[in-house]
Structure 1
Amino acid sequence: MTPLINIVTIRLSWLLSAVATLASPQCRCLYGQKCWPTPSDFSSLEAQISQPLIYPLPPASACYPTSDPSGNCTDVQTNQFNGNWRSNQSGSMQSPNFESFIFDNGSISACYLNTTLGVPCQQGCVPIIGVDARSVGDIQAGVRFAVEHNLRLAVKNTGHDYLGRSTARGSFLIWTHHLKNTTYNASFVPAGAPSVETYDAITLGAGVQWNEAYDAVQAQGRTLVGGVSEGGSVGSAGGWVLGGGHSAIAPAYGLGVDNVIEFNIVTSNGEYLTANSHTHADLFWALRGGGGGTYGIVTSVTYRTHPSVPLTAFYFAANSTNNETFNNLFAEFVRLHPNLSEAGFGGYAIVSSNGIGVFYIALNVTQAQANETVDPFLTFAQNLTSQGLDISIASTVPYLSFYSWYTEWYTPTFSAAPPVGSIDELASRLISRDTIEHNPEGIANAILALDGVVWHFVAGGAVSKVDPESTGLNPAWRKALAHVVWSTGWVEGTPASEIKQLRAALAQSLKNVTDLTGSSAYYNEASMFELNPQYTFFGSHYDKLKVIKNVYDPVGLFVVTEGVGSEDWDTSLNCRR
């Protein structure tokens, strides 16, 4: 094709897309409106898919007399905080606040587990009807149906989403949770690549969760960069990787996006595409960190695997009622991180105003080598015991593999991860190595003032060695050492006015931290009320991501909170601005 013909073709394609967008209704069709598809329309859709249509309900609906009589309220009460149980419910989110909906007048539509509140069970933000996708064809049929009827679409796997991106009031759902295919290939060749380009890889369907993925690679004597959660319930091939995908072993092998070889995806025109460095390379670039729910529905991800190697864990726990003593300890802990990064450590710490618990690991590091790195800090801490510091744990422990460490700490019965099933809204910031090196005391004081932070030591090392322009991920990740998260919450039945006050307090705390760290954050674990989400989550890559978004989703079907292109829609994400 000559350059002139190519230019004309591109412009014609853009013009047709623009005309189609301008001709489409300004607002999505929601349940209860006259435009909502008829029973006959849904019957036609059902004839095209492999499973009956699903009718999601808030999980607590089983506890109300008006629900299906077969509902088992005891089951709901028993499993309220079980991430794997929640992921098996099409209407459940891991944080139940995203199942409810607050109207502009302050009234709340929700279905509370606490039935003594005397509030009727309502649908809230839970989608009305949807497709239980078991194949690519199911997803294609659902996508085409949503476009044809101009529906607000929600795409959900497990419901692990702190921005509420996998649900929407009055919407049509495509549920990918049952896409469980797992294929290991020690000599995987990406589509379009030369035959000599091979990887030791595993392909995971969109519904595969980390507990399943880790079991699969362990059977092959391999390991995989992935997330941690109670019971391993987080999805391994969805929003986690599309937002970046942090991991305790990211400092050794890079983030999730740095380990992806290939995606398969269904776009808004129903087309099934393979995206890698050889085909649809622009989409491949965007999918690696450019945000979940934005470009299409990922059906599978292929990751490179790594040898299973031994590791050493560093455990430390201490507290003090003497504020000055604990502040000194935590400032020293912050100051230690460049050295920990150089030594290959990564992991998590839980921090309050007067206590800390550390769960760090280093791959291919012996216990003696680990001790050499952490002993100066432990000596510093020991010297504070005369000033009121109480040290309950201070040890290094060898493990045969990441899998053996993971299965010890992240089982459903004993977990180092924050629980699911509780009302939770987050704020977060990335903290750069430069900030930690130049102002450890300032960072320490700001963190302790929050009185409840999860300190994710998941950057530096291999993460910092990746070319910032090689993926769509926010370039700030390549300069970061830590990702810090804190939150607010409330009990069921709290009035909207009080929720508003709690959100305002969270926003103020975010401003205080931002003054020290800058405004960059991890898209998957962050505030829903960022002032400039385009920069905060995507940095200098935003304009390029927006162009790619418009190429692969010209009708704007995939719209999510603070995602690429969301600024073109109102705050409800139902109507174009």
Structure 2
Amino acid sequence: MKGGVVVWLCAALLLAQDAVAKGPAASAAGDESSGWVLRREGSSSYACKCYPGDSCWPNHAKWRKLNATVGGNLKVNIPPGAPCYNSFEGPLGEVNTYDEAECDRVTSNWHNEQFQIELPAASLWTYFTNDTCRPTTNPSDTCTLGYYPVLAIIAKTAGHIQAGINFARENNLRLVVRNTGHDFLGRSVGWGALVINTHNFQDIKFTGQHRSACSYRGSAVTVGAGVQAFEVLTQANALSPPKIMVTGECATVGVAGGLVQGGGHGPLTNFYGFLADTALQFKVITADGVLRTANAKTNPELFWALRGGGPAAFGVIVEATYKTFDDKLSSGVHLDIDTSHTTNATLFWEAVRIFHGYSTHFVDNGLYVYYELGTTGQNLHVHPFVGIGKTPAELQAVLQPMWDDFAELGITYTTSSANYSTFYDLFNAMFETEMAGNSALTGGWSIGRRDVEDSHPAIMDAFQTIVGAGSFMIGHMWSAGHGLPRSEWGSSAVNPRFRTVVDKLITVVPLAGNAPLADKAAAQDKLTNVVDAALRNAAPNGCAYINEADPYEPNWQHAFWGTNYPALLRIRQKYDPNGVFYAVSTPGTEKWEQIETGTRLCRKL
């Protein structure tokens, strides 16, 4: 970007209140003196958060004071692709942004997750940004903010987070909490919002003998809100003996925020349950701006809710303490079946049936299985089968019945295997790097043990329906109740049904975020009422996982939390009665909607 940008950023902060003409038409009727803006859409009335263009939007003196309070770390948010455009047309003004060298850098790194993570307010998957301002070779194209936040606090202390929460609450602004931007449901972005970026909280502290409020005595790690899985796993592996902790399958996901608040499943879930099941304590800032300790004895109901009760629902986690475990030798196997092996669709689906029919067998024998189905049409891509604590011979023995069934039907495939001295080494070698910058609608459902045992043909019909609809699936075979004592199943707020799940699926409907509204509506309908409906009907003993699901999942309260929902709703009403925090389809958001084509966040009156 050219030299005038810095001056513009400062001017935008000072003159934010002058952006009235830039925002949507200010409400002609509304009690904006109270911070609520009254709107109507269709036959409904709403009280909305305050946005640029509303007279309640904070004036320059308030923004200056906030900027001083957060140590000058309040930034005007500019979409990452802006250097490829002649100008960025933001809600606080217009600025010349073209910079050829910077455009080349952004373009070459667009699909790099870590590049996107290090930005103030980028979302790794762009559908819910409205796919605005992507890198382009035509600088005269239009670059707007889309649904990205307007301003960002690059928080470096707990006080900065507190100041941001207090400012949003006192001025009734939409607040977004963002660490890495790992998010399929659009929670890391929000039109007209103030974002608190927690990625700078990078402390990692190990202890060999943690004494917790829940009587745990053992090794543990305390991580700051911005720590990513690969960072803590690398340091844990360097200990003697090497340690491991439950993380997601993706190495770049943060481990102290939305992951644990959604539950947090990964390759170690068969042994230790969800990440939420291993949590020992949180330092968390609630909607009143108070920094609290939450553990089994101090604020125990908040501690329970933070362990799987919903991301961005109960507070901003500043740091989290988790159990760690001794790492073990591990073995892995890759499997591919695609059109290079057979073009016979019937035979291919027989191979899928055999593979998936062994899901209960795999998890009962301690395996974790990560697979993709239908990404290129007729393909099954299992990368990998993971045997933690197993030798190659032991892993192959678990897989042998599947190999035998393949051989009996004449199914050919490609496979490879490897063994490692630790799971950490397998994790780095056998899991594939994920990509950022793509646009799609995502949904998902999980399959219960009883569903596999009683109605597997219906599950196979659902899989074919999904692939036939031009969608694809990502599967994670594990059992969150396999290695975790039954007495601990209720210690976290994750849906009790997950204890008998054997396969958790992500469904994907590819679509550009800037597609016409009619196309978006059709894609959402297909996701909810065709793709995911097929899985719900075939697997009635399953449930949905809040971090990887359709944001408009029908009966989401039950689908995401089951019998835990009433308690979560009560806790949410206690700690955030006015809706300072918001994430779609989380406890207490029943009356909240994003109206006016998904822009204004409002409470239905």
Q: TM-score w.r.t. structure 1 length?
A: 0.88
Equivalent residue number for residue 558 of structure 1: 581
Q: Does 1:147 align with 2:172?
A: no
Q: Does 1:78 align with 2:105?
A: no
CA contact (8 A) 1:267 1:297 kept: yes
CA contact (8 A) 2:420 2:426 kept: yes
- After TM superposition, give the deviation of residue 450 of structure 1 in Å: 1.6
* Counterpart pick for 1:163 among 185, 193, 210: 185
Alpha-carbon distance change, 182 to 566 in structure 1, aligned in 2, over 3 angstroms: same
Q: Does 1:434 align with 2:450?
A: yes
Equivalent residue number for residue 556 of structure 2: 533
Which residue identity does 1:574 align to in structure 2? Answer: L
Aligned 1:21-32 pairs, distance under 5 A: 25=36, 26-32=47-53
CA contact (8 A) 1:100 1:111 kept: no
Cα deviation per residue 1:248-275 (whole Å; 9 max; x = unaligned)? 1211221111111111100111100111
CA contact (8 A) 2:224 2:320 kept: yes
- Structure 2: 5+ residue stretches without partners: 1-33, 37-46, 88-95
- After TM superposition, give the deviation of residue 552 of structure 1 in Å: 1.2
Cα deviation per residue 1:175-211 (whole Å; 9 max; x = unaligned)? 1111111111112233xx39x7533111111111111
Distance in 2, matches of 1:399 and 1:285, equals 36
CA contact (8 A) 1:409 1:416 kept: no
- After TM superposition, give the deviation of residue 333 of structure 1 in Å: 1.2
Which residue identity does 2:450 align to in structure 1? Answer: D
Cα deviation per residue 1:209-251 (whole Å; 9 max; x = unaligned)? 111111121122101110122xx22111111111010101211
Equivalent residue number for residue 43 of structure 2: none
Alpha-carbon distance change, 299 to 218 in structure 1, aligned in 2, over 3 angstroms: same
Which residue identity does 2:474 align to in structure 1? Answer: V
Distance in 2, matches of 1:342 and 1:310, equals 19
Equivalent residue number for residue 478 of structure 2: 458
* Counterpart pick for 1:224 among 215, 223, 245: 245
Equivalent residue number for residue 75 of structure 2: 54
**What is the root-mean-square deviation in Å for CA atoms of aligned residues?**
2.0
Distance in 2, matches of 1:378 and 1:464, equals 32
Distance in 2, matches of 1:416 and 1:52, equals 32
Equivalent residue number for residue 566 of structure 2: 543
Which residue identity does 2:172 align to in structure 1? Answer: N
Equivalent residue number for residue 472 of structure 1: 493
- After TM superposition, give the deviation of residue 437 of structure 1 in Å: 1.4
Equivalent residue number for residue 350 of structure 1: 372
Equivalent residue number for residue 19 of structure 1: none
Equivalent residue number for residue 7 of structure 1: none
Distance in 2, matches of 1:365 and 1:409, equals 15
Alpha-carbon distance change, 492 to 287 in structure 1, aligned in 2, over 3 angstroms: closer
Q: Does 1:238 align with 2:260?
A: no
SS at 1:59's partner residue? coil
Cα deviation per residue 1:274-327 (whole Å; 9 max; x = unaligned)? 111111100011111101000011111111000011012122212331122122
Which residue identity does 1:203 align to in structure 2? Answer: T
* Counterpart pick for 1:114 among 136, 140, 143: 136
Distance in 2, matches of 1:185 and 1:32, equals 51
Distance in 2, matches of 1:197 and 1:376, equals 40
CA contact (8 A) 2:98 2:139 kept: no
CA contact (8 A) 1:162 1:426 kept: yes
Distance in 2, matches of 1:37 and 1:187, equals 49
- After TM superposition, give the deviation of residue 51 of structure 1 in Å: 4.0
Alpha-carbon distance change, 499 to 197 in structure 1, aligned in 2, over 3 angstroms: closer
CA contact (8 A) 2:85 2:141 kept: no
SS at 1:428's partner residue? strand
- Structure 1: 5+ residue stretches without partners: 1-22, 102-109
- After TM superposition, give the deviation of residue 416 of structure 1 in Å: 5.3
Distance in 1, matches of 2:216 and 2:406, equals 50
CA contact (8 A) 1:534 1:562 kept: yes
- After TM superposition, give the deviation of residue 467 of structure 1 in Å: 4.3
SS at 1:237's partner residue? coil
SS at 1:158's partner residue? coil
Deviates more, 1:67-76 or 1:247-256: 67-76
Total equivalences in the alignment: 533
Cα deviation per residue 1:502-539 (whole Å; 9 max; x = unaligned)? 22222222112211113620100011221211111111
Q: Does 1:68 align with 2:97?
A: yes
Aligned 1:279-298 pairs, distance under 5 A: 279-298=298-317
* Counterpart pick for 1:45 among 45, 66, 72: 66
Equivalent residue number for residue 100 of structure 1: 130
Distance in 2, matches of 1:362 and 1:98, equals 37
Distance in 2, matches of 1:272 and 1:113, equals 40
* Counterpart pick for 2:545 among 522, 539, 542: 522
Equivalent residue number for residue 314 of structure 1: 333
Distance in 2, matches of 1:334 and 1:69, equals 51
Distance in 2, matches of 1:536 and 1:466, equals 23
Equivalent residue number for residue 217 of structure 2: 198
- After TM superposition, give the deviation of residue 408 of structure 1 in Å: 1.1
Which residue identity does 2:453 align to in structure 1? Answer: E
Question: Aligned residues: percent identity?
Answer: 27
Alpha-carbon distance change, 465 to 472 in structure 1, aligned in 2, over 3 angstroms: same
Q: Does 1:211 align with 2:230?
A: yes
Q: TM-score w.r.t. structure 2 length?
A: 0.84
Alpha-carbon distance change, 438 to 118 in structure 1, aligned in 2, over 3 angstroms: farther
Deviates more, 1:485-494 or 1:215-224: 485-494
Deviates more, 1:353-362 or 1:126-135: 353-362
* Counterpart pick for 2:502 among 457, 475, 481: 481
Distance in 1, matches of 2:263 and 2:521, equals 30
SS at 2:144's partner residue? coil
